[in-house]
Structure formats: C-alpha cells, structure tokens
Amino acid sequence: MITAMKEINASIITIGDELLIGQTIDTNSAFIATELNKIGIWVKRRVAIGDVKEEILDALQAESKDCQVIIITGGLGPTADDITKPTLAEYFKAKMIVDEGVLQNVKDIFTRFNRPFTERNAKQAEVPDACTVLPNKRGTAPGMWFEKEGVIYVSLPGVPHEMAGLIEDSVIPKLKEKLQLAVVIHRTLLTAGIGESFLADAIAPDFKTLPAHIKLAYLPAFGMVRLRLTVRSDNAAEAEQEVDRQFEQLTGLVKQWMVADKDIKIEEVIGSILKEKSKFMASAESCTGGYIAHLITSAPGASSSFKGSVVCYANEAKENILGVQHDTIVTHGAVSEETIREMISGVISVMNVDYAVATSGIMGPNGGTPEKPVGTVWIAVGDKDKTVAKKHFFRYDRKRNIELTAHTALNMLRLFILEAEGV
C-alpha cells in the first residue's frame, strides 16, 4: 500500500498585460506545469497578472502562503513596461547589483549580432543581490532564484523558448536537488465512439472511490475521450506497480472503445497500423481543405504511410484532378453521397494507395440551404473494393466543424482499416 506523502505545491505567476487582454496566449504555464508534474510537484494554482507593481507584490504574498515553489515568468525586458525585476528587489528587500556573468553574456550577444551596446541593454545585467543568477543561454534576461522563509521563487523571462531553456537546464535540476520529491506517474488511454458520461457509467462501479493518491481524469475532445490515471507516491517502484494494476483494470473496462493505450493522437494510431501492414493512404479534402493532411503530416514518420492529399475545394478540382463526373455534381451536388464516393475512387487511383478518406460539406457560416443546412458533411472512407459513406451534421462554428469533420473522418478510417486488415 502506498503511503500518502506531503505534497510540494507550486504556483505559476505569469506577468504581462498582453496575457490579460488576450493578445498573447499563456503557453508558458502549460509548459512549466508539465515539467513540474514530471518531477512530482503539484501545480496548485496559476495566476495571470498585469505589469503592475502592487499586483505583483500581492500575488507573491498570496501565493507564498500555501505554495513552496513559485515560478514567475514575464516582465524582464529592458523596456519601461517590464517592472518585475525592481519589484522583486523590493519584495526581497534587496538592492540592484550588476552581475558580471550576465553583463558578459549580454555583451557577447550584442557583439554576435553586430549591434551597438547601449545603457538600456546594460540594465539587463542588473539583478537583486538576494538572488542566485540562472544563466540564460538563449537571451539577455537571466533567470533569478530566490529563497525566503522556506519558499523558492524563480523568476524567468516571458519569451517562451528562453523560459523553456531555463526550466530544463537550471530550474528542474535545482528543484530536484533541493527538494524531496514524490514520484508522479501518468498513464493515458484514448477512446472513441462513446461520450464521457456514458464512459463514466461504464467505469464508475470499479473506479468510484479511489484513494487520495490516485486520480482519474476525463479529457474529451473532438468526439473522443482521453482517460488519464495519475498515481503519486514517494516510492517509484510502488507507484509503478500500482499504476500498472489500476491501468490494466481500466483498459479492461473500456476495451470496446479503446483506440490506444497511450497518449497518442488518432492519426498516429492510423499511421502505425498502416506502417505495420506496409499499406498507404491518401485524402481527398473539400471542406477540410487539407486539415486531415496537416494532422497526419504533423506526426513524425508520416511518410511511411501517407502519400498525399488532394485539396479539391472547387467542383472543377474535383472533376479535373479526381475525375468526379460533371453530371454527378450537377445532379446530386458537391455535398452528396454520389460525389464523395467518386472522390474516394478518384484519389485511390491518382495517389495509388490502399486506403482513402474524403470529405465534402458545408462548414458555414454561409452556404447552407434548407435541404443541406450548414454543418452537413459527407465523409467517406474506402479501399479499391469498398467505400463506406456517411452523412453527418455538425452544429458548431466553421473552425470547430472542420476539426470535428477531420477527427470523425480519421476515426471512420481507423475502423475501416481495422476491419479490412482483420486486426
């Protein structure tokens, strides 16, 4: 039995007016939270605030009450709007000093880029004397590490790749060295064809009352649900054993809907089945405009199973490239079973592939008719001998309709391939 251990809680404070007005999406928090989680530090809160002295001081005060680790990003630039550094000096009752190492780094960067070194840039080398400098190899603003009354504070630049470099090179190793950390293990599986509430019903009898050190999360997206099991312990071997046992039980309960027993995307699942069978696929995309191809080619190694896509948006393209009959389109319309079936046979022959997927629909907000309202989508999947076509209705905005069409199409393709290959 695993003994529950004292948690190390962290808070992430992201600073910058741009985050509050929606100009910049806070990707830093997600990255930092992922990295902290890997080493067993639980992120208790994420706080976003503007470049305002009082707000920064208040946040530091408030977060340090119940978090032992506080990671701060942003507000370290050389311009007047960035005030994190002097505010930290005030908070730690420190004075600003020039750090020679940082000064050299800033000078080197300016020399390398052949730019004049100004007074303003020299300011980047000033740090509160209460901190340990974390050298920034990717930019001019250094990271700063503070400790006060049992709490670790780390201030990092807002620029995502500089922040990420500092987290990986300095912050994580230093936290591991300083703290006695729990082991946190995540296991994720992917399901399709069942909504999260029904999935919960299927799992509930066995997973209703989990001990405090085990968590089960439902993460629905695009008609599929990811289930994540998290076990935390101070003993790596015990945690591993426990997570294996629980995960095995979970996979048993959801077997009929399971797409993968790891945290991968559906396009990667298709890629790996095809690769194993040495088969190839292609797509013929009208309403998804190449989005399916984009998803597939975003996964490394896509070339071993994907030959290409025909983005046949206009009727002319469907006819000229894929050989869809002019009459078919005139008689039945571009968004029809007849057209989508011809798109499948066309793309299979043009691309010389074993399997194909095709989409044609009305994504909105305009273009709907009473017979074919916005959100009407025909999706087909097939091989040389057989095509399965299905009409769907999606009721969201254009972007989401495209995403849902692509993911629904990929799941139809996955099921078709599994049956055809007898997997």
Which residues lie near Mg ion (CB under 5 A)? Answer: 16, 82
**Cβ neighbours around 76 below 10 Å, total:** 27
Out of ligand AMP, Mg ion, none, which partner does residue 382 contact, by CB within 5 to 8 A per kind?
none
Out of Mg ion, ligand AMP, none, which partner does residue 76 contact, by CB within 5 to 8 A per kind?
ligand AMP
φ and ψ at 4, to 5 degrees?
-70, 135
Q: Based on CB atoms, which residue is closest to Mg ion, 28 or 233?
A: 28
55 binds ligand AMP (CB under 6 A): no
- List, in order, residues 6 or more apart from 5 with CB less than 8 Å away: 182, 232, 233, 234
Radius of gyration of the chain (CA): 27
Out of ligand AMP, Mg ion, none, which partner does residue 354 contact, by CB within 5 to 8 A per kind?
none
Closest approach, Cβ 31 to Mg ion, in A, equals 17
- Residue of 8, 10, 13, 19 that binds ligand AMP (CB under 6 A): 19
**Strand 126-128 relative to strand 96-98: parallel, antiparallel, unpaired?**
antiparallel
14 binds ligand AMP (CB under 6 A): yes
Q: Distance between the two ends of the chain, CA-based, in angstroms?
A: 38
Residue nearest to ligand AMP (CB): 158
74 binds ligand AMP (CB under 6 A): yes
Q: Residues 128 to 167: which contact ligand AMP by CB under 6 A?
A: 157-160
Closest approach, Cβ 112 to ligand AMP, in A, equals 20
Q: Based on CB atoms, which residue is closest to ligand AMP, 14 or 246?
A: 14
Closest approach, Cβ 157 to ligand AMP, in A, equals 5
**Strand 355-361 relative to strand 281-285: parallel, antiparallel, unpaired?**
parallel
User: How many whole angstroms separate alpha carbon 192 and alpha carbon 225?
Assistant: 6
Q: Of the candidates 398, 399, 408, 400, which has an alpha carbon nearest to the alpha carbon of residue 364? A: 398
DSSP state letter for 137: T
10 binds ligand AMP (CB under 6 A): no
Q: Tell me the three-class secondary structure of 296-339, residue by residue.
A: HHHCCCHHHCEEEEEECCCHHHHHHHHCCCHHHHHHHCCCCHHH
Burial class (CB in 10 A: 0-12, 13-18, 19+), 245: exposed
Q: Based on CB atoms, which residue is closest to ligand AMP, 14 or 405?
A: 14
User: How many whole angstroms separate alpha carbon 78 and alpha carbon 140?
Assistant: 9
64 binds ligand AMP (CB under 6 A): no
Taking CB under 6 A as the binding criterion, the range among 72-80, 258-266, 356-364, 407-415 that sits at the site for ligand AMP is 72-80
Structure tokens at 255: 């077997």
Out of Mg ion, ligand AMP, none, which partner does residue 286 contact, by CB within 5 to 8 A per kind?
none
Closest approach, Cβ 134 to ligand AMP, in A, equals 14
Q: Of the candidates 22, 23, 72, which has an alpha carbon nearest to the alpha carbon of residue 47? A: 72
82 binds ligand AMP (CB under 6 A): yes
Q: Based on CB atoms, which residue is closest to Mg ion, 26 or 82?
A: 82
Please tell me the count of residues contacting ligand AMP according to CB under 6 A: 18
Out of Mg ion, ligand AMP, none, which partner does residue 143 contact, by CB within 5 to 8 A per kind?
none
Angle, vertex CA 368, rays to CA 364 and CA 372, nearest 5 = 120
Q: Based on CB atoms, which residue is closest to Mg ion, 49 or 284?
A: 49
Closest approach, Cβ 136 to ligand AMP, in A, equals 11
73 binds ligand AMP (CB under 6 A): yes
Confirm if 361 and 405 have CB atoms less than 8 A apart: yes
Contact residues for ligand AMP, defined by CB under 6 A: 14, 16, 18-19, 24, 26-28, 73-77, 82, 157-160
